[in-house]
Every structure is written in C-alpha cells, then in structure tokens.
Structure 1
Amino acid sequence: MNNGSNRTLDPSCREKPPLAIDIILNLDIFGISLYSILTFMAAVSMLVFLEECVYIYRKVPAHKKSVIIWVNGAAPVIATMSCLGMWIPRATMFTDMTSACYFAVVVFKFLILMLEEVGGDQAFLKRGRKHKLKISTGPCCCCCLCLPYVAITRRTLFLLKLGSFQFAVLKLVFTILSVVLYTNGNFDLSDLSITGAVMWINPFVGILTIIALWPVAIMFIHLRNTLRKIKIIPKYAMYQLVLILSQLQSAIINILALNGTIACSPPFSAAARGYMMSQQLLILEMFIITLVTRLLYRRKYDPLPAEENDDHENTKMAAMLESA
C-alpha cells in the first residue's frame, strides 16, 4: 500500500500551468458561468474607472486630476490583470508584476493626494508651521512610542516624498530584473531555496514596501482630522484594503499552494491552482472596491478653509504643537 510520501500523482500536477485553449476546452457549465461572471466583473470595473476618469477630467481642478485618476485606477487595473491571469495562467507572474508596479506608484500618489487636498506643498507647510509630525506609526515604528515628534519643514516633506517615491522606482527596477532572470531560468517562484533569486529579491522588495508605506501613514495620521470632511478615512481604508488583498492575501494563498496545502486539480498543479484561486478572489474583491471608491471620490472639490479661520476640531491637524 502506498503511503503519503510515495503516492501516485497525476502527471499534470507536475507540469506547467495549462494553456488558455486547454482551459476553454475543459470548462464545464459551472466553469463557464464562473469565468463569465468574473470576466464581466473585471470589464465593469474598467468601464466604471473610465467613466470616473471622464468625470474627474471635467469636474476636478487640474492639479488634482492625475493623482485622483492614479489612485482610482488601483482596483480596476488589478481586476483587469487578474482576469488576464485567470484566462492565461502561464502569464500570471507577469500580470501580478504589472499590478504590483502600478500599486507601487499608487502608494506615492496617495501621499501626493493628501497634500493636494490641503492645497499643495506650500499650503501644507503654511498650515504645519505650528505643528509637528508623529513618526511613531505603522508599519515601521508603531511600537516605538519614545520617538520624538518631527518639525514640519521642506526637508521633512522631501524625505516623506522620497520614502514613497523610492518604492515606485525600485519596484519597477526589480520587476525588470526578475523578468530578465526568468528568461534566463534563474527566477522561479517555486524555488524557495537560499540560492534562489526569489529568496533574495522578494524580501528586499518587502522591506522597500514597508519603508514606502511609513510616510503615507505619517501623513494620514497628521491630516486625518483636517481632511475628515472629504472622507479621507474611508479612502485610506480602501487604499489599505487593496494593499492587503493584492499583496498579503495573494502571498498567503501562493505559499499554501507551494507547501502542498492546496491540492492539485488537473489540469492545474497545486501552485497553478493557488494562483488561479488568488486571481479569481481578486477580481471579485477589486470589483467591490471599485464601486465603493467611485462613491468616495465623486464629490465637489472645493478648497479647504484656512486653518486659522476655522476653529472646528475636524479641520485642525492631528499633531502636537510646537510648545507641547
């Protein structure tokens, strides 16, 4: 009798992901329905985004158009790339990399969005001259409560921008490097050995991600009361949700697949099935986030009142005064 270590496996469980035509030919009624519904969701997500772009182009001030379009596009772009990965499993690595590169830019753009909502760099510096930044926030230093508050200066603002901008640039650099190594046979997502390129590139990208998220969190904590009227808290929640679902959720599912927790299901190997489940979940989740995001960003874009002329608590910056 065969035990668990030497049981016979279907040959397809050790093969590469199937071709798109193989998936189409093997779809049953349930599969056709599932793929059709998910494809429809991805298409609707992109159509909603395009409609939102038209609205933003017509109704939003020029200095805010670009950043709002970038931030709004996170969920639709990920849904579209996931749909392509669902239909073409062998392209999953490239569709995931494209989504990750786009979101790396969104991290920086969300920081710029918060600055633009208070009137730009000059207005932010003018409002912040009486305040200090709390830097003991996640994901880097949420436990380091002893860290001092930092004065708001041009240099501080530059460092905050640089902290997020580096991720947008270096993520693209490491993605190109990964593709080059993949074509040479040196980058294999299933190779988790210490000598594999994946074990060196992915952790380093993870560190860059944490560094990039820190300035955004600092700025959000500082401006959340000032921008409460424009629903910055649910906007930030949607941004964080996209991050968690597209990065953490996908990583967990893929690790479970590589460890054999997710079983092989011909014509999909365990790893390919894990990637497929991840893509299908992302399409559904990003479709919902796209609809919610549309509601949050469709509003009148009036300038904020000057802080010195507005004594309401919700329009004051959540930071420590210089004298504190």
Structure 2
Amino acid sequence: MDDFNITIDPSCLQEAPLAIDIIEQLDVLGIILYSVLTLMAALSLLVYLEECVYIYRKVPSPKKTTIIWVTGAAPVIATMSCLGLWIPKAIMFTDMTSGSYFAIVVYKFLILMLEEWPCCCCCPCLPHAPVTRRTLFLLKFGSLQFALLKTIFTIISIVLWANGNFDLSDLEITGTAIWINPFVGVLTIIALWPVAIMFMHLRNTLRSQKLIPKYAMYQLVLVLSQLQTAIINILALNGDIACAPPFSSSVRGSLMSQQLLILEMFIITLVNRLLYRRHYEPLPAADQHEKDNAENATIILQCENGDNMA
C-alpha cells in the first residue's frame, strides 16, 4: 500500500522544457558546464572551418571534397549536440541531422580510401586483380544506399512526428518508431560492411597515408554517436536515469548524451586535424593510369612467354 502513497513530481511527466526555462534553472555550476561545452562546440567548428580552408587550397580535386565531408562528422555532431543541449525540444531533430550526415560520411569514407589508392580504378581490369569492377560497384552501392535511405527515413520520421504518429518512447508494436529504427539499423550494418572490407584490403597498402588511425577515428565517431546514444536512451526509457526537474528521465538522458558527445567530438576533431591537415601529393592523371596498365600487361605477357619457352 505504501507504493500508492508515492508522489511523482509533475515535471517528471512533462515534455522537454523550453530554452528559457533551462537558462532560468541554471546555477553557477550549470552555467560553467554549459559555457565550457558551448565553447568546445564552437572551437570544434572553428578548427574544422580552418581545416576546410587549408584542404581547399592544398588538396587536389576530387579528394578535397571527400576529405571535407569526412572530417566534418565530429564538428557537425558537436554543433548539433550543442543546439540540442540548449534547446531540448529540438533533440530529435538534431540527432536525426547528425545521423543523416554520418550516413553520408560512411559512403564518403569508402570513397576516400579508394582515392587514396589511385591504382584501384585501373587495377580491376588487369589479370589476377583481387577486386573486380563488379565487386567495387557493390561495395560502393552498399554504402550509398545508407546515405540515401537514411535521409529519406529521417524526412519520413519528421513528417510522422508532426502528424503525431512518431514517438521514440512508444515501443508498442503499433508504433512507427519500433518499425523504422530497426530497419535503419539493418541498413547501417549493410553500409558498414563494405567499408570494413575495403579497409581490410587496403590497410597495409595505405599504412603510409595513416589509414589505420583515420579508420579508428571513423569507427569511434560511429560508436559514440550511435551506440553510446542508443544505450543512454534505452536506460532513460527504462527509468534507470533518475528524473531531475525540470527534466524528465528521457530528456535528462538525452541531455547527458549531448554533453558527452560535445566533449568526445571536440577531442576527435583535434585528432582528425593532425591526421588530415598534411601535404597531399596530386593524384596521377588518367593517362598515367593507362600507361601503368599497358606496362603491367606487357610485363605479364613477357612472364607468360618466358614460362612457355621454358
């Protein structure tokens, strides 16, 4: 009977508060925390913009566009997390924006590995090549589908939310979120598989291009922005994260996720600057590829003739 006498703060059952409500509730420690996190997000964006200027001037096309996309994952997520930190009602939109951007980054990172290995566009037509044109097409398509479908499902989710049919906390079988989110998860796994295959194929060849630490940062962004956020949200939905008025349990879990992401993406942005802000050699021209193909074919023919004569 004692359980029926427990009172619940009405704030724990309310929706996310407005930005002005958060500002009015901040104490000295809260002001310091929000100020430091906002500064980190701003510095991440400034570091990224400075890196974009350097890459645009120093890196030949089309590699510079790909690098700008890939290195933008951490600062974009940090910026969206900062917006969600100050405006909790917009957390769903900021998370979806970050997820859509990272879906494009998955495809762009695959393209980056191919561009760092310029011979891959000509090697498939040679005998005994480990990667065929058909395989290369399937790998690209596997990542590209995620970039396209993730954006499409994000738009659909926003439209359904506006109509009152999409709620992340609704885990009933009749809810739309319980169908859309697992399907997007399957698309994510399908998209990550081609990138992992290509990395295993090129990790030794592109060791001098620092491919291993670049891939590690890419994987870290994936784990922190997707898996970490999902775990915290699940804990919040189960009530394992206590309510702290004016924040409900789910809103407080989302804010904790945003705070962690800002700090983590700030560090990753600095590491990416060390990895990508370097001198890039221009990619060989197409005619040079054709010349290499002709020379390789000649060598193969000479070897085969020598074996026949023997």
Deviations 1:88-129 (A, max 9, x none): 000000000000000000000000000000116524536x75
- Determine the structure 2 residue equivalent to 1:192: 171
- Determine the structure 1 residue equivalent to 2:253: 274
- Determine the structure 2 residue equivalent to 1:2: 2
Q: Cα gap change, 1:298/1:191 in structure 2, threshold over 3 Å: closer, same or farther?
A: same
Q: Do the aligned partners of 1:164 and 1:212 also contact (CA within 8 Å) in 2?
A: yes
Shift of 1:194: 1.1
Asked which structure has the greater CA Rg, the reply is: 2
Deviations 1:251-274 (A, max 9, x none): 000000000000000000000000
Say which of 215, 220, 224 aligns to 1:241: 220
TM-score using structure 2 length = 0.89
Q: How does 1:137-148 map to 2 (within 5 A)?
A: none
TM-score using structure 1 length = 0.85
Q: State yes or no: 1:119 paired with 2:98.
A: no
Q: Do the aligned partners of 2:96 and 2:154 also contact (CA within 8 Å) in 1?
A: yes
Output the CA distance in 1 between the equivalents of 2:44 and 2:62: 25
Q: Do the aligned partners of 1:115 and 1:124 also contact (CA within 8 Å) in 2?
A: no
- Determine the structure 2 residue equivalent to 1:149: none
- Total equivalences in the alignment: 287
Output the CA distance in 2 between the equivalents of 1:180 and 1:6: 41
Say which of 114, 128, 131 aligns to 1:130: 128
Shift of 1:300: 1.6
Q: Do the aligned partners of 2:123 and 2:129 also contact (CA within 8 Å) in 1?
A: no
Q: Do the aligned partners of 2:78 and 2:262 also contact (CA within 8 Å) in 1?
A: yes
Q: How does 1:273-312 map to 2 (within 5 A)?
A: 273-302=252-281
Instruction: Determine helix, strand or coil for the equivalent of 2:118.
Output: coil
- Determine the structure 2 residue equivalent to 1:205: 184
- Determine the structure 2 residue equivalent to 1:96: 95
Unaligned runs of 5+ in 1: 133-151, 310-324
Shift of 1:31: 0.3
Q: Do the aligned partners of 1:110 and 1:216 also contact (CA within 8 Å) in 2?
A: yes
What percentage of residue pairs aligned between the two structures are identical?
73
Shift of 1:155: 1.1
Q: Cα gap change, 1:10/1:157 in structure 2, threshold over 3 Å: closer, same or farther?
A: same
Q: Do the aligned partners of 1:42 and 1:287 also contact (CA within 8 Å) in 2?
A: yes
Shift of 1:78: 0.1
- Determine the structure 2 residue equivalent to 1:12: 11
Deviations 1:13-70 (A, max 9, x none): 0000110000001100000000000000000000000000000011111120110000
Output the CA distance in 2 between the equivalents of 1:72 and 1:48: 10
Output the CA distance in 2 between the equivalents of 1:123 and 1:34: 53
Q: Cα gap change, 1:6/1:294 in structure 2, threshold over 3 Å: closer, same or farther?
A: farther
Q: Do the aligned partners of 2:203 and 2:211 also contact (CA within 8 Å) in 1?
A: yes
Q: Do the aligned partners of 1:118 and 1:124 also contact (CA within 8 Å) in 2?
A: no
- Determine the structure 2 residue equivalent to 1:29: 28
AA paired with 1:273?
R
